[in-house]
């Protein structure tokens, strides 16, 4: 069958429904998944998108026709799906397009937790199988059973913090789940906590009547930021559409960068696990390794992407990892990323230390001046990256992921997008905001010339 090859991406399968990814393609992807992995049981969940019931029906039909039994865990967040895969020790497929606009569909696929299928390991194999339809001959027809993991999932989350600490300081918390998949589990979890809570857009709704699913877009967090200030909340939380990414707003209503959250949470988790290893991605601020080292931990840099991070965490037995785009991974949660868990650790930390989030951040903001991620369209991604590497011959150059260029007071990473003709720049100065702006504009000039 002719299926758009561009839907098979670096970390998952994703495309517009029904032009790029439809029921026929989903059926073949289900057959390919069961055939490639040779599995007898597959856990399948889905998100709230309008297309998800039809895609779910087609992919599970493909799995069962290929001889795999399906465990239907219903409409869930991705971290609840990871929990189900880890608890049962089975492979899984989650029907979701994460934070993409509502017309998208897709799959996040687990081989066995914490190992996911990626472009390097499995996803292109699925593409070849779908195109050739050279599936193994099934010996039986699979069946479907239904299981609900929400209660177990909530208990797991609660077991990872000291809820009694929250009684000492009744935090005032607001959370916006953007009509994505986090609302139901967040409500069930937060009603068990001694906090003052307000929720925004907690009902899953694939029509997305309020705003988009990606909190990195400023328009999708503006309302929450305004409410934090106007109503005096201690902290505000945001989650992406499928709930594997987490974002926070401090008591000033300021959006907190993923670099700073990684550094702050990393330091806090080192209080629980002294001298542990903590991973961060190549784009991150120097604040991350500096704070981890200062607390006696071992900071380890890794490529961008959950498939690489989870694998390295398991290999190193690291307790925590953070990516600047809002993915936070925990050894105590099967080395997987979760949206809910970082919110719990931040509340526990604020209650235990009796401080404001803004106090922690102002120390970092006075020392680390970061550009945030800036995208540029280019005709030749590879050529532009090579050109940048040659422009700075006296710098320290690393090529773990894209090109990283370091000088004593400033550094940057440039990477090509996995899906578009884009170069992504992250730059930082520890000398001054002026140096950050000067060097940012200099590098952007080279990229765009």
Q: Where do the domains of the chain lie? A: 5-148, 153-365, 369-448
DSSP state of 166: H
Interhelix angle for 381-391 vs 433-448, to 10°? 130
Looking at 93-102, 164-173, 411-420, which range is the least confident one?
Answer: 411-420
Phi, psi torsion values for 418, nearest 5 degrees: -75, -15
Q: How confident is the model at residue 120 (pLDDT cuts 50, 70, 90)?
A: confident
Is 432 considered catalytic here?
no
How much of the chain exceeds pLDDT 70, in percent? Answer: 100
Interacting residues of 233 by C-beta distance below 8 A, sequence separation 6+ = 172, 173, 174, 198, 227, 251
How much of the chain exceeds pLDDT 90, in percent? Answer: 96
Mean pLDDT of 407-412: 98
Mean pLDDT of 171-176: 98
pLDDT tens digits, residue range 3-44? 999 999 988 999 999 999 999 999 999 999 999 999 999 999
The CATH architecture to which 5-148 belongs is 3-Layer(aba) Sandwich (3.40)
**What ranges make up the beta strands (E) of 282-394?**
298-302, 320-322, 328-330, 336-337, 369-370, 374-377
Catalytic residue among 98, 118, 371, 429: 98
pLDDT tens digits, residue range 69-105? 999 999 999 999 999 999 999 999 999 999 999 999 9
pLDDT tens digits, residue range 367-385? 999 999 999 999 999 999 9
Q: How many CB atoms lie within 10 A of CB 143?
A: 10
C-alpha distances (whole Å) from 92 to each of 4, 58, 71, 97, 340 are 23, 15, 9, 15, 20
- Predicted confidence at residue 421, as pLDDT, reads 84
Helix intervals (H) in 38-103: 52-65, 78-88
Do 5-148 and 369-448 fold alike per CATH?
A: no
- Predicted confidence at residue 437, as pLDDT, reads 98
Matching CATH number, 369-448, of 1.10.1740.10, 3.40.50.2300, 3.40.920.10, 3.30.310.50: 3.30.310.50
pLDDT tens digits, residue range 269-313? 999 999 999 999 999 999 999 999 999 999 999 999 888 899 999
Q: How many CB atoms lie within 10 A of CB 115?
A: 16
Average pLDDT, the chain: 97
H or E stretch at 32: helix 23-37
401 token code pair? 């992921």
- Predicted confidence at residue 418, as pLDDT, reads 75
CATH code, 153-365? 3.40.120.10
């Amino acid at each position: 069958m002719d299926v758009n090859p561009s839907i098979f991406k670096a970390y998952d399968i994703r495309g517009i429904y029904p032009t790029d990814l439809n029921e026929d393609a989903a059926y073949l992807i289900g057959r390919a998944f069961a055939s490639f992995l040779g599995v007898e049981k597959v856990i399948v969940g889905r998100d709230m998108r309008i297309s998800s019931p039809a895609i779910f029906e087609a992919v599970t039909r493909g799995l069962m026709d290929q001889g795999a039994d399906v465990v239907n865990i219903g409409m869930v967040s991705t971290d609840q799906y990871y929990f189900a895969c880890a608890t049962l020790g089975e492979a899984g497929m989650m029907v979701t397009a994460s934070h993409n606009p509502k017309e998208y569909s897709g799959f996040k696929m687990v081989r066995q937790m914490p190992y996911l299928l990626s472009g390097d390991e499995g996803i292109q194999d699925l593409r070849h199988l779908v195109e050739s339809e050279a599936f193994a001959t099934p010996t039986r027809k699979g069946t479907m059973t239904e299981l609900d993991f929400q209660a177990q999932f909530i208990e797991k989350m609660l077991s990872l913090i000291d809820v009694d600490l929250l009684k000492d300081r009744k935090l005032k918390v607001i959370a916006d789940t953007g009509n994505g998949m986090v609302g139901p589990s967040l409500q069930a979890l937060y009603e068990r906590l001694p906090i003052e809570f307000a929720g925004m857009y907690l009902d899953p709704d694939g029509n997305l009547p309020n705003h988009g699913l990606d909190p990195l877009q400023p328009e999708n967090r503006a309302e929450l930021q305004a409410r934090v200030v106007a109503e005096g909340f201690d902290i505000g939380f945001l989650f992406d559409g499928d709930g594997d990414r987490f974002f926070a707003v401090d008591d000033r209503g300021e959006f907190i960068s993923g670099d700073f959250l990684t550094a702050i949470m990393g330091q806090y988790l080192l209080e629980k696990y002294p001298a542990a290893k903590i991973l961060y991605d190549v784009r991150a601020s120097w604040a991350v390794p500096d704070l981890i080292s200062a607390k006696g931990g071992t900071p380890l840099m890794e490529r961008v992407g959950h498939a690489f991070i989870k694998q390295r965490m398991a290999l190193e037995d690291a307790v925590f990892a953070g990516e600047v785009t809002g993915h936070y991974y925990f050894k105590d949660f099967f080395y997987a990323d979760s949206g809910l868990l970082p919110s719990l650790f931040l509340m526990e930390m604020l209650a235990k230390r009796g401080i404001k989030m803004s106090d922690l951040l102002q120390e970092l903001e006075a020392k680390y001046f970061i550009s945030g991620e800036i995208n540029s369209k280019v005709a030749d991604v590879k050529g532009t990256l090579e050109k940048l590497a040659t422009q700075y011959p006296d710098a320290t150059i690393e090529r773990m992921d894209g090109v990283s260029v370091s000088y004593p007071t400033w550094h940057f990473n440039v990477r090509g997008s996995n899906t578009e003709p884009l170069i992504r720049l992250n730059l930082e100065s520890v000398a001054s905001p002026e140096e950050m702006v000067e060097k940012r504009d200099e590098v952007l000039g080279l990229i765009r010339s």
